[in-house]
Amino acid sequence: MKPYEQCATRLENRGAHPPTREYVDMLVEGIQKAGVEACWHSAVDGDSRALFPSKVYPNCHPQANFESFHYLLRRLHEIGRPVLSWYSLNHSIGLVETHPDWQMLPMQGNGLPAVPEAQSDNARRYCCINSPYGELLPKFAVEIVREVGFDGIWFDGSSFATAGNKCPGCLCNYCRQKFHRDTGLELPDKPDFESHAFRVWINWRYDCLMTAWKQVTDAVLAVKPEATICFNNYRRRRSDTPPWATGIPMRRLGWDVTMSGELDGQPLQGDFQMKMYRAYECKRGVESWMPLCDHWNCWVPDIDPLPIEQAAVAAAAAGGVACCGIGVQPALVAGTLGAMQQAAVPLMPYLGGRQVEYAAIWASQQTQDFRGLINSNYWDEYHGANELCLQAHVPSAIVFDDHVRDGCLAQYPMLLAGNAACIDAQQVKQLRRYVENGGVLVACADFGLCDEFGRVYEKPPLDEFLGITQRQTGRGTATLEIADAKLARACGQWVTFRGAHWVAQAGTAVKRLADVIDRQSGSWDGVEDGRASDPRYPGLWFCRRGKGVVVYTGVNLFVAYILGPTQHLLRFFRALVMRFAQPAITLDGPLCVTMNVREAADGAWMVHLHNAPGSVYRYPAAANYVSGELLSIRRLKLRVRDGGVRRAVSALSGREFRVGRAGRTVSIPLLDRNDVLCLERG
């Protein structure tokens, strides 16, 4: 039987009661018909009440039995399918019924949503991991894999929050005592960013939740080393909850688990999510779930296969797997599941390998958490940087605060630090070292203004390094007026940005590339209202530090690209970054074609090309995902900086492509949906 992490398609099923034989037979028939390779089921009901006679958790389901699950697992194992149990990590209604004092008490007030009534959300099912529940959870997980026989556990709701992860926990007595014991502080009762204790509490919750995750992982792998543990990561682009509310940090873990997530019904966000989850450095790979449903509010059998295929390809191109839930009989959607299977299976041998690095996008948790009250669009910051890299056809990856703090940047020629406002003393030291050793640092707007808790520095420690002598908040709309001839040839003389910006003054040692016009009128330079021309300020410059370069602009390049993705801005970005660091490989082609490149063990480069058109938008204005048609793309060209490509062959079809002089170019006459080019290098 193939291990779960090697399976191309993974199907979620849940049950409100132990599975019947008829249900299991129907499930097996549908899975075989579609070709789906792995399955989740559930050893618990929706409230995490055990569907088997647990010796760890009380108040099991009235129909609890082992026989149903033994039949389920035997039938699925007979057809070679691994089966994980769904389980919501912070749920156990049976324990709350027995131990009401273990219930999670979420923080409220100051903008946090109210906890829904128990009737609508069943709020009683949430348990606090700092109560004795945290000691029972690993034991229950061991029961699921050892006594029931599941091949692992997919932890949904793996957060430290209630009500769909919107209401952060917890204010129970166990948390109050532990917080005081660990920090010497009193636990705050509501959000208050003026309070040092509240800021400490945010980081303390991250450590508490990761302790719970690690204890469960260690307990399960101790009794079943081959078991698969997946944690559903709720750190993603959402606007209805603060980024810190889930209690899930962005940090390197390096554990023997799978990092999972959710695509929010937007298939092409798989590219960004796989990169972000890979930054956790977990050893069993990455995946992201999506509902197999065009309508989201209800499960239906009439599913358009194109968005599902595109999700599978987008995830695989960035090194992960798209999984799904259906809510109907698998046989009814076997055609769509089969299309997903056919799209994903050929790509599985090419998920791994060393990333061919270029631009690291700094996704800063401390900036999200402690600068978010002032500027809440930090997910747009990271997604915008990734979109610019994808559409400029240069490789990119995600790094976290601890990558920067620990100096793990040397493999990246460029760090897109963007609007990372909150920087600690160790990160300041490592950023200086990174640039002086030859790296390129691209910084925007309020970069480096605050310490790691969001407290504004009296004198920002990197301003002098960046060439900044003074800066203040811009008042109007920012337009860069390009002064550098090479940049102007690439993108034109002006590039206008939506969103907030800074007006900065530069020192004498910088090389000015553009001025910023802080426009406070709808007309251009007073043409319509008879005003004098708007003043110009330094808007974009660079300066050399040691062997490297720092680039600073007061406009926020990356949020601006999500808000207003113009061709001028894209061409500006591509010309700017390639001026200071040439990528090892890039692509000539339309915006809709994305490129990811990894190096195989034999040194060959595996180039994933994905035709991802606007019919399945990454950032749609309305529907979750939109149907459409896929049109073939012609006359693409790969450019390899150092040449040396001897041969270029499609890993999917075996077709060979023409290699140009000195092995510096590869011509691709036609791309349908996707391909993987194997570049043999000399």
Q: What is the 3-state secondary structure (H, E, C) of 324-364?
A: EECCCCHHHHHHHHHHHHHHHHHHHHHCCCEECCCEEEECC
Pair (626, 654) in one structural domain: yes
Question: Which residue would you say has higher pLDDT here, 427 or 308?
Answer: 427
Buried b or exposed e, range 246-277, using 16+ CB within 10 angstroms: bbbbbbbbebebbbbbbbbbbbbbbbbbbbbb
User: What distance in Å separates the CA atoms of residue 446 and residue 554, rounded to the nearest whole number?
Assistant: 8
Does any domain span residue 122?
Answer: no
pLDDT band at 521 (very low <50, low <70, confident <90, very high): confident
Radius of gyration from C-alpha coordinates of the chain: 26
Please state the domain count of the chain: 3
Kindly list the distances between the CA atom of residue 175 and the CA atoms of 94, 129, 136, 168, 458, in Å, as whole numbers in the listed order. 21, 9, 17, 12, 35
In contact, 109 and 132? CB cutoff 8 Å: no
pLDDT of 617 strictly over 80: no
Kindly list the distances between the CA atom of residue 493 and the CA atoms of 513, 520, 553, in Å, as whole numbers in the listed order. 11, 20, 16
User: What distance in Å separates the CA atoms of residue 16 and residue 22, rounded to the nearest whole number?
Assistant: 15
Predicted confidence (pLDDT) per residue in 555-569, tens digit: 999 999 988 889 999
CATH number at residue 430: 3.40.50.880
Length of the chain in residues, anyone? 682
Does any domain span residue 415?
Answer: yes
User: 107-111, 151-155, 533-537, 572-576: which range is least confident on average?
Assistant: 107-111
Does any domain span residue 114?
Answer: no
Kindly list the distances between the CA atom of residue 23 and the CA atoms of 18, 27, 75, 334, 535, in Å, as whole numbers in the listed order. 10, 6, 12, 16, 72
Phi, psi of 660 (to 5 degrees): -80, -175
**Residue 1 CB partners (closer than 8 Å, separation 6+):** 77, 80, 81, 82
pLDDT of 358 strictly over 70: yes
Does any domain span residue 577?
Answer: yes
| Mean pLDDT calculated for residue range 96-101 | 92
User: What distance in Å separates the CA atoms of residue 81 and residue 108, rounded to the nearest whole number?
Assistant: 44
The predicted pLDDT at position 120 comes to: 45
CB half-sphere exposure, 198, CA atoms < 13 A: 16
Pair (569, 659) in one structural domain: no
**Residue 74 CB partners (closer than 8 Å, separation 6+):** none
Exposure of 641 by Cβ count < 10 A (0-12 exposed, 13-18 middle, 19+ buried)?
A: exposed
CATH number at residue 619: 2.60.40
Does any domain span residue 479?
Answer: yes
User: What distance in Å separates the CA atoms of residue 111 and residue 417, rounded to the nearest whole number?
Assistant: 29
Reference 209, options 248, 154, 251; nearest CA is: 248
The predicted pLDDT at position 621 comes to: 45
Buried b or exposed e, range 467-476, using 16+ CB within 10 angstroms: bbeebeebee
Containing 494, the helix (H) or strand (E) segment is: strand 494-497
pLDDT of 677 strictly over 60: yes
pLDDT band at 622 (very low <50, low <70, confident <90, very high): very low
The whole-model pTM stands at 0.96
Q: Print the domain residue range for 598.
A: 586-681
Does any domain span residue 561?
Answer: yes
Last residue of a domain, one of 320, 337, 355: 355
Pair (530, 621) in one structural domain: no
Predicted confidence (pLDDT) per residue in 394-409, tens digit: 999 999 999 999 999 9
Q: Collapse the DSSP code of 517 into the 3-class scheme (helix H, G, I; strand E, B; otherwise coil) and give the result.
A: strand
User: What distance in Å separates the CA atoms of residue 652 and residue 566, rounded to the nearest whole number?
Assistant: 34
Last residue of a domain, one of 556, 582, 608: 582
pLDDT band at 623 (very low <50, low <70, confident <90, very high): very low
Predicted confidence (pLDDT) per residue in 176-202, tens digit: 999 999 999 999 999 998 999 999 999
The mean pLDDT of the chain is 92
Exposure of 74 by Cβ count < 10 A (0-12 exposed, 13-18 middle, 19+ buried)?
A: exposed
Cis peptide before 170 (omega within 30 of 0): yes
In contact, 115 and 106? CB cutoff 8 Å: yes
Pair (502, 406) in one structural domain: yes
Phi, psi of 406 (to 5 degrees): -90, 5
Pair (279, 219) in one structural domain: yes
User: 52-56, 227-231, 496-500, 556-560: which range is least confident on average?
Assistant: 496-500
Pair (570, 650) in one structural domain: no
CB half-sphere exposure, 556, CA atoms < 13 A: 29
CB neighbours of residue 520 within 10 Å: 11
Q: What angle do CA 559, 560, 564 make, to 5 degrees?
A: 125
Q: Give the position of tokens 């229950």.
A: 140
Predicted confidence (pLDDT) per residue in 106-163, tens digit: 998 887 877 776 544 566 689 999 999 999 999 999 999 999 999 999 999 899 998 7
pLDDT of 453 strictly over 90: yes
Does any domain span residue 99?
Answer: no
Q: Collapse the DSSP code of 652 into the 3-class scheme (helix H, G, I; strand E, B; otherwise coil) and give the result.
A: coil
Kindly list the distances between the CA atom of residue 288 and the CA atoms of 6, 250, 315, 423, 466, in Å, as whole numbers in the listed order. 14, 16, 8, 30, 38
User: 12-16, 43-47, 254-258, 524-528: which range is least confident on average?
Assistant: 524-528
User: What distance in Å separates the CA atoms of residue 126 and residue 202, rounded to the nearest whole number?
Assistant: 19
Pair (494, 379) in one structural domain: yes
Question: Which residue would you say has higher pLDDT here, 532 or 29?
Answer: 29
Last residue of a domain, one of 558, 582, 606: 582
Pair (408, 373) in one structural domain: yes
Q: What angle do CA 237, 238, 244 make, to 5 degrees?
A: 90
| Mean pLDDT calculated for residue range 349-369 | 95
The predicted pLDDT at position 118 comes to: 54
Pair (393, 539) in one structural domain: yes
Pair (492, 555) in one structural domain: yes
Pair (86, 22) in one structural domain: yes
Pair (283, 378) in one structural domain: no
CATH number at residue 47: 3.20.20.80
Phi, psi of 43 (to 5 degrees): -85, 0
Reference 1, options 69, 77, 74; nearest CA is: 77
Phi, psi of 101 (to 5 degrees): -75, -5
Does any domain span residue 24?
Answer: yes
